[in-house]
Amino acid sequence: MASTTSPLDSPPAPPAPPGRPRSTGRVGDKIFIGLSRGSGILLLVIMASIAVFLSYRAVLAISKDEGNFLTTLDWNPAGDPPVFGIAVLLFGTVVSSVIAMVIAVPVAVGIALFISHYAPRKLAAPLGYVIDLLAAVPSIVYGIWGALVLVPYLEGLNLWLDQFFGWTYVFEKTEVGIARSLFTVGILLAIMILPIVTSVSREVFLQVPKTNEEAALALGATRWEVVRLSVLPFGRSGIISASMLGLGRALGETMAVATVLSPSFLISLHVLNPGGGTFAQNIAAKFGEADEFGRDALIASGLVLFVLTLLVNGAARLIIARRKEYSGATA
Amino acid sequence: MAKRIDVGGLTAYYGSHKAIEDISMTVEPRSVTAFIGPSGCGKSTFLRTLNRMHEVTPGGRVEGKVLLDDEDLYGAGVDPVTVRRTVGMVFQRPNPFPTMSIFDNVAAGLRLNGSYRKSRLAEIVEKSLRGANLWNEVKDRLNKPGSGLSGGQQQRLCIARAIAVEPDVLLMDEPCSALDPISTLAIEDLIGELKERFTIVIVTHNMQQAARVSDRTAFFNLAAVGKPGRLIEIDETERIFSNPSVQATEDYISGRFG
């Protein structure tokens, strides 16, 4: 917002002090420009080579696929003829991630708000550490915990959901069996992405300009109204970014899902039923035993996950860009 | 509507630091009172005690009395939120809600206070924007974000937002210090019009501004850095600037310190 400062506020830059060789800064500048430009180019090269590698191997596999790669409900690249498709994996990945987001984002925003605006300082700092600590737990540990603790404990919840919300179809449990389901995976993923969503949101909430909050306070806003009028609107794009980071992790999570889920190649909206699969889980489960062609097939599924993640991030950027005029970055 | 402010023996702290000490004064309704004084003398702190914004700062607390037409703002059982709904405030930097449109900015305080019919809301918003001399500049873009306006327009938008809820008192904390001279003039003209409806208290670093806009002027000073700020004197603006009764006031006004 250039117009908030009068021309008087920015006097012309003073001339360089005499006697000081002007080139001293330039060597550093050149090195720095080279470094930063190099890093930028390196990133593009890495991304491009991953995309090329994935595409090349994927094309090798898909061209020999006798089933429809997108719709086949089977994964048998070793068969004769080879038949495999990603429908189940795409479905399972999206459903488990959506469940994770629905649970994790509101909780994370709540925790972040509590830490940044409600908790007394003595409590806020330790709480922040604990949340960050959740992120330090290796995903295989989450997987084991999920399989040994979460799965048995969720059976009661599953029965309850089935009994009272079975009419929604989604929560109808038609198969007996322990809770190694997409729903359980979703809950586990929610816990796993909680720290990243929380800490990014918290950072954004702490950056809300004091003047914005005072504007609301001075109008006679209560604490919740300050949050609603100043903090949440300012933090909106930050919450979206935080969620996308979390979603990225949920989409790609491997070990925890592989440990908890009992995989099957069926698509069912009954999320409480055991079965289903995700891209990363499927790759982890099958990569070791697959032959060269089987690996190409798995890489083809990895390419789809790659594209899915790109799409999700692109969509998030679109949402943020559309709100840019109102983002508060100009205030 | 416009109310009298009666301050008695007011002392404010930041934690253990005493920021202002033992301030008493009366501010008449429908008048403009200016606070002047060197940086750090506590005039902004004192202003913020008048709508209980001081205690929002961690460690901020207040002793003494602030009566608004005989009602003590610091009395037991008085909710600071209610106080701020009757004592409006305009800040040093324009701070419209960046994510809200111009219309919603002005309506924000009304929406906090209760629900209004759409037509009634539009009426009050127009009246407030007219009251802030901003209506003609923004009437065609009420749905555009307030952060897209110029600095001076944003400040008038903030004034419109503050007066939309018909406060008893309007506090202004250096409202022109981030603005260019033309926008400053627009705000000063506006203050002259607003004092017919509101009790106005303004903190300013600009002594010409105090002389131009205010009826009465209060001079604050502090004995030394780290010592609490005190009210040195308050009098008719004309008298303060021509023949103040305290030597320190004259020294400050004639530019001998501060």
3 state SS of B73: coil
Tokens matching residue A62: 């898909």
Strands ordered across the beta sheet of B199-203:
B71-72, B60-68, B5-14, B17-27, B229-236, B216-222, B32-36, B199-203, B169-173, B87-90
- The interface predicted TM-score (ipTM) is 0.89
Residues 6+ apart with CB under 8 A from A326: A233, B98, B99, B100, B145, B147
Rounded Cα–Cα distance for residues B131 and B148 (Å) = 20
* Structure confidence at residue A9 (pLDDT): 46
How far, in Å, are A41, A110, B217 from residue B231 at the CA level?
Answer: 63, 45, 11
Closest CA to B212 of B190, B180, B243: B190
The residue ranges of chain A whose pLDDT is under 50 are: 1-11, 328-331
Average pLDDT over chain B reads 92
Chain B residues close to A6, C-beta within 8 Å: 151, 178-181
B130 to chain A, closest Cα gap in Å: 19
* Structure confidence at residue A320 (pLDDT): 76
* Structure confidence at residue A23 (pLDDT): 54
Closest chain A residue to the Cα of B152, Cα to Cα: A4
Strand partners of residue B65: B8
Cβ <8 Å between A326 and B100? yes
**Would an 8 Å CB–CB cutoff place B94 in contact with chain A?**
yes
Rounded Cα–Cα distance for residues A191 and A205 (Å) = 21
In a mutagenesis test of the A interface, which of B91, B93, B99 is the best target, namely the one with the most A β-carbons within 10 Å?
B99
Q: What is the pLDDT of residues B101-146, one digit of tens each?
A: 999 999 999 998 787 889 999 999 999 999 999 999 999 999 999 8
Cβ <8 Å between B162 and A219? yes
**Would an 8 Å CB–CB cutoff place B51 in contact with chain A?**
yes
Domains, chain B? 3-252 (3.40.50.300)
Using alpha carbons only, what angle is made at residue B218 by residues B216 and B219, rounded to the nearest 5 degrees? 145
* Structure confidence at residue B240 (pLDDT): 94
Strand partners of residue A49: none
* Structure confidence at residue A144 (pLDDT): 95
Chain B residues close to A236, C-beta within 8 Å: 99
The mean pLDDT of B53-63, rounded to a whole number, is 91
Rounded Cα–Cα distance for residues A309 and A303 (Å) = 10
Peptide bond before A21: cis, by omega within 30 degrees of 0? no
Cβ <8 Å between B97 and A230? yes
Q: Which CATH class is domain A75-322?
A: mainly alpha
Cβ <8 Å between A331 and B53? no
Nearest to B112 among A219, A233, A330 (CB): A219
In a mutagenesis test of the A interface, which of B147, B157, B176 is the best target, namely the one with the most A β-carbons within 10 Å?
B147
* Structure confidence at residue A19 (pLDDT): 56
Rounded Cα–Cα distance for residues B156 and B94 (Å) = 8
Cβ <8 Å between A214 and B85? no
Res. B244: pLDDT tops 80? yes
Tokens 């048998």 locate to: A76
Closest chain A residue to the Cα of B109, Cα to Cα: A219
* Structure confidence at residue B215 (pLDDT): 96
Q: What is the pLDDT of residues B67-104, one digit of tens each?
A: 999 899 999 889 999 999 999 999 999 999 988 999 99
Cβ <8 Å between A4 and B178? yes
